Amino acid sequence: RAGNLDRFLKHASFAFPVVQPSVDYDSGVSQRFSGMACFPVLVKMANPDVTQAGAQESGLAAFGQAVEEARLQRCRQERRARREARRRRAAKRAHRRQRDRLVAQREERQKAADRLSLLAPPRLEGGDGEEPSPAAHRPRSLLGRGGRSPSVDVVGVS
């Protein structure tokens, strides 16, 4: 209908060397088709390598080999996917451990600074009645890198 058979034959000829439309039906098939509104056309498609008696075994062997290669490739892909998932889980665990360690270090520094601030009374600097900065009475070792307060200490994470 509207060139569909011709298009089908053209596309089938790309995959099969032998493409033959046929309207030769046996009597039983012709009787079935007689009451139909459309007229069916059968198309015989064949590959000469498969139709030859001697080449059937080689065709089956090639098919078996293709199936085996597909199975092996699927196994490789599954192994690769499992390995990648394991790697992602390990990276996530390592990141979580590092994050927890950094949080614990920061909390420990904050606790130490709080304990120290409770032990040492603040000293008044100058006579103007201003209260000294919180870092003024802390020992240098608790100030973190660069003399900054531990609450603003920045740790780089790669």
Q: How far apart are CA 97 and CA 35, in angstroms?
A: 77
Which pLDDT belongs to residue 85? 97
DSSP assignments along 89-141, one per residue:
HHHHHHHHHHHHHHHHHHHHHHHHHHHHHHHSPPPPPSSS-PPPPTTTTS-GG
Q: Are 142 and 109 in contact (CB under 8 A)?
A: yes
Computed on alpha carbons and rounded to an integer, the radius of gyration of the chain in Å comes to 41
10-residue block means of pLDDT along the chain (158 residues)?
A: 72 76 75 71 69 60 86 95 98 98 97 87 59 56 53 52
**Phi-psi domain of 3 (left: phi exceeds 0; alpha: psi -120 through 50; beta: other):** left
